[in-house]
Amino acid sequence: SGRGLSVCGRRCGVPWSYNMISVALLGMVMLRRLKPGFRRGAMDVAAPRFNRRGAYAQGRGIFRWGPKNGKHFSRRDRQSCGLRRSVSVRLNRLLLESDEIVVEPKGLGYAVLSLNDTRALHVKEILATNSGGEIRVGVVDGGKRDNASIYWTTEGMKIGLANPAPLLRRIEDHQRPKVDLILGLPRPRVFDRLLPVISQSGVRSLYVVGSAKVESRYWSVHMLNPSHDRHKEGLVKLRERLKEGLTQSGDTALPTVKVVKDLKRMILNVSELDQAFPPDRYIRLVSHPSRPAQQASIGLPTIPRLFEIDPEKALSQLGVKLTNETRVVVAVGPDGGWEEPWEIERFIDQGFHPFTIGERVLLTEVAVPVLITMVNDWLDRGVHRSTKSQSAY
């Protein structure tokens, strides 16, 4: 044993470093004598195959084995462990632009990403997917596929797309998220961090608006300022940030972004508001912190919780039924909420139902994902109850 070697070394006067080398060599010999894997129940288990970041790849209940340099077992070893072919982890979704797909005459298609493309680097270093492995792909505002094969070449990563027509077909209107967001512009850095959060939370359209609490210098950001010399670069970055959120959520519907610096013009122009959010299709909500004593002193009504608002009753006041085509627009103010009482009263005058998630004043980057998730669930529950009650009759 290793201990016996160490004791023998001390008795024979062998240096300590030689003892450690002997232990290491003995361990290597013992590992070579072990089988590459063992069966435990229905799962084939083997030593983890580590990638460059020290994580192991796992897929379909099988731990992938192999040395750090990326080499694999021999065919006999793979068969002894039950590994019939290369299986890769398929996480999130790799998004392609429609012009990146090459359609061949026989109905086949492919896309090639260069080796320094961030998407190819993610597949290679994070997912550790080898040639013949499968990944999830999608086309922006198009279809999805969960079993696209990849192949590594000297040119880059080639993605095989058999029958790419469904991928290139633009998604229909009912397949898009059902929540629109009116957002009081936060600080530029916060706005940049919020973009992927908004797209992965499920937003159809984003309206970036001004407010009494929005500082004018916030509008100088190159993403939103058309007169900025880097505005085109800012638009590209805005699109990439939104795509980043879709990659995480696995969706392909990219939110549209509209900028309205003058909130007064937006909420006082009834025809423009009805065109953007038709009353027969949209439930209008405005979120604001609850401060009962202070708000009562300035004449604001008590702001209810979201679960206290019945979506079916909110539409029945307009003579409209709640259906699967019903959508929601929710207005979320900047840090600290909307200005009291003017902005809240104007929203209420235009048919927005005020609601709150409590007395805590949340930062915009905290409130936005919470509110979007709550509103999506609130609408789904309301539609489910309405459909269930109608089927009962």
237-278 residue pLDDT tens: 999 999 999 999 999 999 999 999 999 888 888 999 999 999
- CATH number for the domain harbouring residue 373: 3.40.1280.10
Going by DSSP bridges, is the β-strand pair 179-184/62-63 parallel, antiparallel, or unpaired? unpaired
Q: Which residue would you say has higher pLDDT here, 389 or 162?
A: 162
Residue 1, domain member (yes or no): no
Per-residue pLDDT, 89: 39
**In this structure, are 265 and 382 located in the same domain?**
yes
**Tens of pLDDT, residues 120-162:** 999 998 888 899 999 999 999 999 999 999 999 998 999 999 8
d(CA 34, CA 227): 68
Question: Do 158 and 278 have their domain in common?
Answer: no
One-letter amino acid for residue 39 of the chain: R
Does the residue 238 lie in any domain?
yes
On whether both 184 and 46 belong to a single domain, the answer is no
Same domain, 237 and 340: yes
User: Residue 37 is encoded by which pair of tokens?
Assistant: 């894997």
Q: Which domain holds residue 373?
A: 173-386
Q: Which of the listed residues 168, 193, 226 is the one where a domain comes to its end?
A: 168
Same domain for 143 and 184, yes or no, is no
My answer on whether 101 and 234 are in the same domain is no
Most confident of the ranges 113-127, 283-297, 313-327? 113-127
Return left, alpha or beta for 98; rule: phi > 0 is left, psi -120 to 50 is alpha, else beta.
Answer: alpha
pLDDT interval class at 31 (50, 70, 90): low
Domain end residue (candidates: 144, 168, 192)? 168
The sheet that has 94-96: what strands, in order across it?
Answer: 94-96, 134-139, 144-152, 157-162, 108-113, 102-103
Does the pLDDT at position 323 exceed 60? yes
Please report, rounded to a whole number, the percentage of residues in the chain having pLDDT higher than 70. Answer: 76
Specify if 272 maps to a domain.
yes
Residues 289 and 271 in one domain: yes
More confident residue, 127 or 69: 127
Give, to the nearest 10 degrees, the angle between helix 231-249 and helix 188-201. 40
Residue 392 within any structural domain of the chain: no
Q: Which of 168, 197, 228 is the last residue of a domain?
A: 168
354 three-class SS: strand
**Co-location of 300 and 377 in the same domain:** yes
- pLDDT score recorded for residue 70: 42
Residue 84 lies in a domain: no
Mean local confidence (pLDDT), 46-53: 41
Report whether pLDDT(47) > 70: no
Q: For residue 3, is it within any domain?
A: no
Instruction: Give yes or no: residues 178 and 110 share one domain.
Output: no
Task: Say which residues have a Cβ less than 8 Å from residue 259's Cβ, sequence separation at least 6.
Answer: 207, 208, 224
Structurally, the chain folds into a number of domains equal to 3
State whether 298 and 181 are in the same domain.
Answer: yes
Q: Is residue 89 part of a domain?
A: no
- pLDDT of 370 reads 94
Residues 160 and 194 in one domain: no
| Mean pLDDT, rounded, of the chain | 80
Indicate whether 353 pLDDT > 70. yes
Q: How far apart, in whole angstroms, are the C-alpha atoms of residue 93 and residue 251? A: 8
Query: Are 212 and 337 in the same domain?
Result: yes
User: Is residue 26, in this structure, part of any structural domain at all?
Assistant: no
